[in-house]
Amino acid sequence: MQTVSVPPAPGDGPLGRMPIPGHIDPVPVPRSLKPRADGRIDLLGLSRADLRMALETAQLEPKQAKLRAKQLWHWIYNRGVTDFSLMTDISKAMQPWLAQRFVISRPEVVEAQVSTDGTRKWLLRSDDGQDYEMVFIPDADRGTLCVSSQVGCTLNCRFCHTGTMRLVRNLEPAEIVGQVMLARDALGEWPSQPEGRMLTNIVMMGMGEPLYNFDNVRDSLKIVMDGDGLALSKRRITLSTSGVVPMMARAGEEIGVNLAVSLHAVTKEVRDEIVPLNRKFGIEELLQACADYPGANNARRITFEYVMLKDKNDSDADARELVRLIKQYKLPAKVNLIPFNPWPGAPYECSTPERIRAFQEIVFGAGISAPARTPRGRDIDAACGQLKTAAEKKSRAELDRLAEEKQAALD
């Protein structure tokens, strides 16, 4: 029978801290392990290496730490277990030792709503009291989870309700991966399996600009794509950016998921207005970065998101210019036409169905796929561009002032 040497609990050593055993300093870890308020380390969102190092730092012998890290990875990401006492291949002596030092979290659910069309939205709260949202959109042949990467947003896209919020902070890997775990909990999809799941796709299109939280998004998606854990194929994950050009190549090389670009306009004047990031990284620079995106081909096309705004970006001339640009840069592309989803104080209206259809026909006629997205979850403010957790209403003057502050920070 194997005996397990269980190290003492925190506080047993001098001054309440345990000395580092042996004469070898711990290997530096790429991610600092920040204890929660209760002193425990959250294992959710840690890479395999960080998980092992967390155990070693807690004075588990390296060989033992390697074994336990492998077991924990399986229980956390393949089976969705959060209680150490349910991990049947970990000894009963080790289970309370783990529970004293570590926790496997889930985001706190403040509110869960279900739309008449089956769309689900969760308002989540972090340990430091910050709110963010995630949305699950079920379809006949797929189920897509829209994941947030920031609390608030760095950008100020004028048609987007989330863009009227200040950026509070980046979400940590545990908070990003936690959204996927929570959705799996709600859908009853444990243990993880590749066939027959309801949650089949992930889009990084929730609150925030993912490429302004690159490291945390990359590390989170690597966990989601790990074949021994959540096991979602990179072909089923899409990262959406408003055009953070310097980070796009890195996203292709280091993450390798599908790319979606919030284009929304084809002229400098209009895109400067509705996607102010365009003043920093212009359309030509953005489209060249798309042309250079690693892995883009006809089988893995770049998606251009194009919100339809009445009398702003929806003319026949706009459609023809969109076609010209895609062909000029030889982009393997599809265009998602998104009817504008209104919100209180929005400065735009949605294009008419007839105008959307006319725009669509021009793009289709040039041999480019251009489906018009059916708005989902509008009745619970879960549709594209509607995510916003702040309860208070802002006046138009306040929104304009916030927009100016954000743009000054970007310039």
Please tell me which residue in 133, 172, 209, 305 is annotated as part of the active site: 133
Query: Are the beta carbons of 343 and 386 closer than 8 angstroms?
Result: yes
d(CA 380, CA 339): 16
d(CA 83, CA 266): 52
Please tell me which residue in 146, 160, 350, 384 is annotated as part of the active site: 384
Residue 384 a catalytic site member: yes
d(CA 97, CA 93): 7
Query: Are the beta carbons of 404 and 158 closer than 8 angstroms?
Result: no
d(CA 193, CA 230): 8
Residue 133 a catalytic site member: yes
Instruction: Please choose, from the candidates 110, 109, 87, the residue with its C-alpha nearest in 3D space to the C-alpha of residue 98.
Output: 87
Q: What is the DSSP letter of 339?
A: E
How far lies 123's CA from each of 110, 287, 326, 329, 356, in Å?
A: 5, 34, 37, 40, 32
Task: Classify 16 in phi/psi space as left (phi over 0), alpha (psi -120 to 50) or beta.
Answer: left
d(CA 47, CA 303): 29
- CA dihedral 130→407→344→318, nearest 10 degrees, is -130
Q: Quick one: tokens of 266?
A: 């084809």
Residue type, 397: A
Report, as residue numbers or ranges, the catalytic residues: 133, 384
